[in-house]
Each structure stands twice: as C-alpha cells, then as structure tokens.
Chain A
Amino acid sequence: MKLWIAKQRYLADFTLASLARRKTKNLGLLLVFSLLVFVLASVMLFTSALRHEATQVLASSPEVILQRMVAGRHDLIPPGYIERIGRIRGVQKTAGRLWGYYYDPVVKANYTFLGLTEDAPASGQIKVGNGLARYRGVQAGNVLSFRSYSGKLFSFTVDAVLPADSELISADLVLLAEADFRAFFDYPAAHWTDITLSVANPQEVRTVAQKLANALPDSRPILRDEVLRTYQSIFDWREGIVLALLSAAILAFAILAWDKASGLSAEEKREIGILKAIGWETGDVIRMKLWEGLLISLTAFLAGYVAAYVHVFHFSAALFEPVLKGWAVLYPRFTLAPVIDGLQIATLFFFTVLPYAVAVLVPIWRASVTDPDAVMRA
C-alpha cells in the first residue's frame, strides 16, 4: 500500500510539473472550468432556495381566489357576488380584496396598492414596503404624494415601513385603508378586485372551485395548490433565457475541454513518446493523465461550488440582479435560507468532473499504445 501511495505521489508530482510547463493554458482552463461550475451551481442553489422560500411563505396564501373575467381580462367583482358565493356548500369564509397597480413617474417604478378592511392604517396614512421606501427615500413620518388616475393629487403620511427582511414579498406594497383606496382609484362602491375564500374540508377544495365556476361562469377560481405549483416551476431549466445562457456556457466549455483533451499537442505527444522510450508503461502514462484530469476538474468543481455558495447566500446572488431585474426599477433586497440539495450537487459533479476526466483519457490511450518511435517522429 505504501509503495502504491509513493508511486501515485511521484505520478502526481510529475503531472504537476508537466502542468506547470504550460502554466497559462492550464490556469486559463482551470479558471474557465471554475467559472462554469460557479454559474451552474449559483443558478442551482439560488433557484432551489427560492423555490423553498416560495413554498414555505405562500403556504399561508388564500385557499381559493376568485377572479371575474370580462372579454379575457380581469374585471371587478360586482355587488352580490360575495353573498352568492357564501351560499355555496363547503365555502367557509369569504372576503373581498382590494388591490391595484400604480405607476410612479418619480422613480419610474410600479407599486402594488392594497386596500385593507381589517387592521388597516388610519385614514390618510399608509404603510410602505422597504423597497419602495428605499427608492423614494422615505421613512416613517414622511409625506408621500401620488397623482391618482383621475388626476387628483393625494398626500399620505407614511405610518410605518414594512420590515426589511420581508422585501421579497412586500418590496412594492403600499397598504392603505379601504376608504382611501376607493377614493384614490375612484373605485365604484361595493365592488372588489377579487374574492378570497376558504373551504371547510381541504379535500373538497377542487370540488368547491368547480361548483363556483359552474355557478358563476364568468369567474375564474385559482387554488392555493396552483399558486404553489406555479412557484415550484420558477426558473425552470427548460425556460428561455436560463436555458439559452446555460446551454451556451456548457457548449462553449465542451468545445474548450474537447479541444484541450482530445487534440494532443505535438509537445504532449513527444512527451508521451519519451516517457515510453525511457521505460514507462502504458498504464503509468494513463494514470498520470488521469491525475491531470482529476486535479483540474476536482479543483475547479470545489472552487466553483464554494464561490457559488458564498455568492448566493452571503452576497444575495448579486450577479443575477441585472438579469432578474429585467426592466423593473424596483428590485427587492433579500437573503434566502440556504437549501442544499445533495442530488443536485451530485448531478453537477457527474456532469462536470467525470466528462472531463474521461475526455482526457481517450487520446492519451491512443497515443500511449503506439510505438514510441512513431510518436516522437510524428
């Protein structure tokens, strides 16, 4: 065993010396390899943590939301709807929601206004999300003015700023009293944006939703289960830009690795010829190259993964911000609770480390089984 270890160490020594002779090329490869693992691992860690967060947080969202559609567009709920829904068997608690969007030309951002019927701020006062407060530079006690869609100017006193660590769900929220909401948006009396309801027996949610759709054909029920499933597929690997970015990166690396691994340079071929001429066996040459492949790919994998972890969970995935932000001005600052999926990491390992180590082997085996004289003369 000792002899085996000593032999492997000599092989590793030789491999490292050989790598050092082509320092720039190998360091470049290591850097690109690490960068690829970093990007892939960052996406993986970020999406699984975000999925976990969404599942946890949205598990307490309303059981059923009922919207009304007119000509394919979401429309207001007219008076009498809530009462009709309340009469359907299985429906336990119904409530109207008041919410809408507001474009703020001052910072060119979109806000979500939410009119509260319970636990609402006093008239003339609002509570705002931390993201909005940051972009508008306001704090509790300041006055914020918005020009409503009817052209009138409304001034509200900021009663409180919602907690900073809730930005992921509340960055753009403006909470105000029901009467203020109705006055600001000129909302018709007794109309609601949509309806939330809970069902007595959780097993019957789907049945109740179908009853609702039958009773009110212009309505569209959305179940909590569907909301959760929607967020389960967030940043699905099959989706547009994510796939385009990743496939381009993987393809570029595959070309680089293939070029490096399969096309042996004349210098490398001569080196193998000399090694065989001085008495190295084919197995030794292959083992040496295996060491080379493993050292590079393992170092790149570990460095890339650790950097990705620090990037996602200690720097809030800052490099993704420009991509995620899109054209939106208001982007939440948030930290995610780390979720490390062992299976995903293992998949990443098998798709990055192993192919490289194997790609290195094939041409070496071909070169090392040919006659040393022919290899050196080639």
Chain B
Amino acid sequence: MNLRPSTLAGIALVALLLAALATLIDAQRLGATRMASLTARTALVARLELTDLSLFTEARYTRHRALADLHSPFQDHPFSLEHFPSGSLLPPPTHLTQARHEALDREAALPR
C-alpha cells in the first residue's frame, strides 16, 4: 500500500509530538528518582556548610563564586585582564552588581 506524502508527514509529526509529550512524563519520572540524591546533596551542604557548586574549579572566584569580592578580576595586578574562560560564562555575584552597586559591608558606617 502506497501512503500519500501528507499521511507520511502527518505520522512523522504526530510521532514527534508524542515524543515531545513523552519528555514531560519522563521529566516527572526522572524528577522522582533523582529526588533522593538531591535530598542527600542538600544534607551534605548543610553538614559541611558549603556555599557553592563545584562546577568551575579553575579559579578561586569561579569555584566559590558566591564568595568572590570586588577585587577578584584584578587578582594578579591592577588592570590585569580576566584570563579564565569560565569567568566569561558567569556573571559576578549579584550582591556586587545589584542596582545599589554597594555591597553590604560598604553600607556600614565607618568608625569615628
């Protein structure tokens, strides 16, 4: 039996649509199975008092991004250029760049 091109295209599109819907079901299933390890990771963070993901281990301010300070990009000498590739993938910590442009420590009154 020779199928019409529109039937073939219809079958292909429906198959793709079903595959796309299957990703939603798969996401539910994977989410449930990976929940246990997520809970274990959360417990480890609490126990070891960790602050960052070990996603970029190349430089200290990318390894511990949340703890980076204003001077991190100039760690070698003033005006030194950023030379770690992951530094260009990541924005600086938000507390250094938020609209106020002042970190909490700079809000503090200086002792007289």
**A interface residues with partner B (beta carbon < 8 Å):** 9-10, 12-13, 16-17, 20, 50, 53-54, 56-62, 65, 67, 69, 72-74, 95, 97, 101, 109-112, 114, 116, 119, 129, 131, 162-163, 165-173, 175, 194, 196, 206, 209-210, 213-214, 217, 219-223, 226-227, 229-236, 238-242, 295, 298-299, 302-303, 305-306, 309, 313, 323-324, 326-332, 335-340
Task: Count CB-based A-B contacts (< 8 Å).
Answer: 241
- Whether B101 is near chain A, meaning CB under 8 Å from some CB there, is no
The CA of A172 and the CA of B53, in the complex, are separated in Å by 10
Asked if A338 and B27 sit within 8 Å, CB to CB, the answer is: yes
Q: Which 6 A-B pairs have the closest CB atoms?
A: A213-B108, A326-B85, A328-B58, A338-B27, A240-B88, A302-B16
By beta carbon, the residue of chain B nearest A209 is B104
Asked if A340 and B103 sit within 8 Å, CB to CB, the answer is: no
By beta carbon, the residue of chain A nearest B44 is A166
- Can you add 17 more A-B contacts, CB < 8 Å, to A313-B27, A340-B24? A12-B9, A16-B6, A62-B51, A217-B111, A234-B91, A239-B89, A298-B13, A302-B16, A302-B17, A302-B19, A323-B89, A327-B85, A328-B56, A330-B57, A332-B54, A337-B31, A338-B23
For the complex, would chain B's binding face be called helix, strand, loop or mixed by DSSP majority? Answer: helix
Interface size of B as a range: 35 or more
- Report the minimum CB–CB distance from A154 to chain B (whole Å): 21
**B interface residues with partner A (beta carbon < 8 Å):** 4-6, 8-9, 12-13, 16-17, 19-20, 23-24, 26-27, 30-31, 34-35, 37-38, 40-58, 60, 62-67, 69-71, 84-86, 88-91, 93-95, 103-105, 107-111
